[in-house]
Amino acid sequence: MTFAHSARAAFLASAAGLIATTGFAGTALAQAAAAAPAVADKGDTAWMLTSTLLVLLMIVPGLALFYGGLVRAKNMLSMLTQVLAVACLSMLMWVVVGYSLVFTEGSPLIGGFSKAFLAGVAKDTVNSGGTIPEYVFFAFQMTFASITPALALGAFAERTRFAATLLFSLLWGVFVYYPIAHMVWQSDGYLMKLGALDFAGGTVVHINAGIAGLVGALIVGKRIGFGKDLMAPHSLTLTFTGGALLWIGWFGFNAGSALAANDVAALALVNTLLATAAAALSWMVVEWLDKGKASLLGTVSGVIAGLVAITPAAGLVGPLGGIVLGLVGGAVSFFFCTTVKNIFGYDDTADVFGVHGVAGIVGSIGTGVFVSTSLGGVGVENYDMATQVWNQVVAVVVAVVWCGVISAIIFKGIDLTIGLRPATDAEREGLDITDHGERAYNM
Amino acid sequence: MKIVMAIIKPFKLDEVRDALTSLGVHGLTVTEVRGYGRQKGHTEIYRGAEYAVSFLPKVKIEVAVASDQVEQVIGAIVGAARTGQIGDGKIFVTSLEHAVRIRTGEVDADAL
């Protein structure tokens, strides 16, 4: 008893220390935990505090560096600033209406305003499962709402005005992310009630971001000189660094989506390792056979495709099922980023659609197959593969259509008001100088 | 006086410098350049985007020498820079009308 008590206290103290150094209210948490029985499980809370920070690590610096390395040197700071500012804006939006519109009861399409500006959320309120403080649940979900519009930015990078990207993220959060997240993750949401499975955000985050990116790339238009000028990534070293940070942070994203420190989180962690390794090798080998060389960019792209493909399935399928999802996700994403993209000729700068959209669809539909207990999955009540796969397809179609149509309206609207594209000269000079007045590399 | 200008493979620069120093050449100017000749470029592939890179990195050296040294200098550069593979580079020789050493004001042969 004494040992258990002191061990837990020490664990909590170290968790609180971690939070304090990153600027969260560490002391307040320690006091609350010491006094309050409202928090049912300190272990769950500690893991969810950690997971929240891991998802933040995915955005800054992970995603920013991953995309930053893929653009030309003259647009490096533009990429970094867009990701950073869009993530920050999305966090404040989450306080204003986001959390409330997603995670309160309302209609099957959207929640209500009862928790706008964090109304009713306090130090002693807990999440619906009663295991973690509501502040932690709020913050964890906030990082998801922040990374999703930032993911889309990569598709129309190097040619979209900074102000336009901010306005995009604001409108897109309200009219696309909040409804889809509500439909999938809130108990009265349309897709939740339908029985569609999305463990950590295959539809909500990745299909959503992939489709928004594709629509943006089409409406913003191609970069000047696309298909003619050399547009090689300016630093695959940074892309590798960002990709590696994404993989690490993704354990918060996937294993954190268990919302507890338990066996489900453990399964999600194993899948997030194995499916990713499988997809990296899958992309690498397919590219090796097709193009004659195994590339770093291909292998690290496979890592991301694998992470995306396992996201909806992470806590639901067995490790072998996860490996199959990774193998398929890597190969199919490669096909879309090379063959399909070249046939249609759209300019998706960082292949947001080819990686996130496509692997997200593979993972979302594959979840319906590999959740089956006969294939090593955890199973769902009254499971029938055909029905489950159909529900997954419905969820994918709803996400694609909702996101596609509303994103198109948002991009068109921005184009007709403040404008999407910089002047031709400004785009040629690079957005670092023309949007931000600074240069990434002064050598 | 002549200017001997040679375009060589970058990794041959040190050997060429050593060969010229042993001939008594006191200085040379080096520039990193890109260009193409008979040597084909290569293809770079970034996911679906394939780029033919036809300008290859080379080093250009320029040496000012007395007219009677030109053949020796050319021989030294050829001897040091040749690999026998396509892309070894070229040597161009032009006349040099006048030279001044800035520090001392010495001119022409004394300035080299």
Chain segment B5-55, per-residue pLDDT in tens: 999 999 999 999 999 999 989 889 999 999 988 887 888 999 989 998 888
Q: Can you tell me the distance from the alpha carbon of A396 to that of A404, in angstroms, rounded to the nearest whole number?
A: 12
* Residue to substitute from B43, B46, B53, B56, interface A, most A β-carbons within 10 A: B46
Q: Which of A201, A207, A317, A325 is nearest to A268 (CA)?
A: A317
Q: Can you tell me the distance from the alpha carbon of B69 to that of B93, in angstroms, rounded to the nearest whole number?
A: 12
Q: Which of A145, A150, A305, A144 is nearest to A213 (CA)?
A: A150
- pLDDT at A395 > cutoff 70: yes
Residues B46, A297: C-beta atoms closer than 8 Å: yes
Please report which residue ranges of A58-133 form alpha helices under DSSP H. Answer: 64-70, 76-93, 99-103
What pLDDT does residue B53 have? Answer: 86
Written as six digits, the tokens of A312 are 């909806």
Chain segment A234-276, per-residue pLDDT in tens: 999 999 999 999 999 999 999 999 999 999 999 999 999 999 9
Bridge pairing between strands B49-53 and B56-65: unpaired
* Residue to substitute from A72, A290, A349, A351, interface B, most B β-carbons within 10 A: A351
Contact (CB, 8 A) for A314 and A255: yes
User: How many CB pairs below 8 A link A and B?
Assistant: 28
A38: confidence class by pLDDT, cuts 50, 70, 90: low
Q: Considering only CB atoms, which residues of chain A are within 8 Å of chain B?
A: 230-233, 291, 293, 295, 297-298, 301, 337-339, 341-342, 351, 354
Chain segment A196-228, per-residue pLDDT in tens: 999 999 999 999 999 999 999 999 999 999 988
Q: Which of A383, A281, A262, A265 is nearest to A331 (CA)?
A: A281
Q: Can you tell me the distance from the alpha carbon of A75 to that of A233, in angstroms, rounded to the nearest whole number?
A: 11
- pLDDT at B74 > cutoff 80: yes
Q: Can you tell me the distance from the alpha carbon of A369 to that of A379, in angstroms, rounded to the nearest whole number?
A: 10
B47-84: burial string, b at 16+ Cβ within 10 Å, e else = bbbeeeeeebebbbbebbbeeebbeebbebbbebbeee
Q: What share of chain A is helix, strand, coil (3-state, %, to 5)?
A: 75, 0, 25
Q: Can you tell me the distance from the alpha carbon of A239 to that of A305, in angstroms, rounded to the nearest whole number?
A: 14
If you write DSSP's letter for every residue of A380-404 in order, what string do you get? -TT--HHHHHHHHHHHHHHHHHHHH
Question: Mean pLDDT, to the nearest integer, of A147-163?
Answer: 98
- pLDDT at A25 > cutoff 70: no
Written as six digits, the tokens of B64 are 């000012």
A130: confidence class by pLDDT, cuts 50, 70, 90: confident
Q: Can you tell me the distance from the alpha carbon of A395 to that of A28, in angstroms, rounded to the nearest whole number?
A: 40
Q: Lowest-confidence range among A35-44, A73-82, A216-225, A382-391?
A: A35-44
Provide the 3-class DSSP secondary structure of residue A440.
coil
Residues A298, B47: C-beta atoms closer than 8 Å: yes
The structure's pTM equals 0.86
